[in-house]
Amino acid sequence: MFELPKTICEITGAQTCQLGDVIQSLWSGYGVIQRVKLDLPNRSTAIVKHIDLTESRKNRRGWSGDVSHQRKVRSYEIEKTFYDSYSQKCTGLGNRNVVGGRDHEFACRVPQILAALEKPGSSGWLIVLEDLDEAGFDLRSSSPQRSDDSNLRSCLRWLANFHATFMGCKPTGLWDVGTYWHLATRQEEWQGMEDGQLKRLSSAIDERLNAAQFQTLVHGDAKLANFCFGSTNSNCNDGPDVAAVDFQYIGGGCGMKDVAYLVSSCLDGSESETQQNVLLDFYFDQLEKSLAVKQPEIDFPSLESEWRELYAFAWADFCRFLAGWSPGHWKLNKYNDQVTRNVLNQLAGDKIQRRGDGFTAE
Number of H helices, E strands in the chain: 10, 9
To which H or E segment does residue 72 belong?
helix 66-85
For residue 209, is pLDDT > 70? Answer: yes
**Measured between alpha carbons, how far is 124 from 55 in angstroms, rounded to an integer?**
10
In this predicted model, what pLDDT tens digit does every residue of 94-127 receive, in sequence order? 333 333 445 567 899 999 999 999 875 556 789 9
What pLDDT does residue 123 have? 62
For residue 30, is pLDDT > 90? Answer: no
Question: Can you point out the beta strands (E) in the chain?
Answer: 17-25, 31-40, 43-52, 113-119, 124-130, 216-218, 227-229, 242-244, 251-253
The total of structural domains in the chain comes to: 1
Q: Is residue 65 part of a domain?
A: yes
Q: Is residue 290 part of a domain?
A: yes
Q: Amino acid identity of 146?
A: R
Q: Is residue 67 part of a domain?
A: yes
To which H or E segment does residue 307 belong?
helix 300-325
Q: Amino acid identity of 307?
A: W
What pLDDT does residue 178 have? 97
What pLDDT does residue 103 have? 54
R_g (Cα) of the chain, nearest Å:
21
Q: Amino acid identity of 120?
A: P
Q: Are 124 and 52 in contact (CB under 8 A)?
A: yes
Count Cβ atoms within 10 A of the Cβ of residue 232 and give its class: 0-12 exposed, 13-18 middle, 19 or more buried.
exposed
What pLDDT does residue 93 have? 38
Nearest to 319 by CA among 220, 190, 160, 223: 190
Q: Are 41 and 163 in contact (CB under 8 A)?
A: no
Q: Are 218 and 254 in contact (CB under 8 A)?
A: yes
Q: Is residue 361 part of a domain?
A: no
Q: Is residue 360 part of a domain?
A: no
- The larger pLDDT score, comparing residue 233 to residue 207, is at 207
In this predicted model, what pLDDT tens digit does every residue of 234-267 receive, in sequence order? 655 567 899 999 999 999 999 999 999 999 999 9
Q: Is residue 362 part of a domain?
A: no
Contacts of 69 (CB under 8 A, 6+ apart): 53, 56, 57
For residue 360, is pLDDT > 50? Answer: no
- Domain hosting 102: range is 4-355
Q: Is residue 269 part of a domain?
A: yes
Handedness of CA 209, 214, 216, 218 (dihedral sign): negative
**Neighbour count for residue 44 (Cβ, 10 Å):** 12
CA dihedral 223, 93, 131, 224 (to 10 degrees): -10
Three-state DSSP class for residue 56: coil
**Where residue 64 falls among pLDDT bands split at 50, 70, 90?**
low
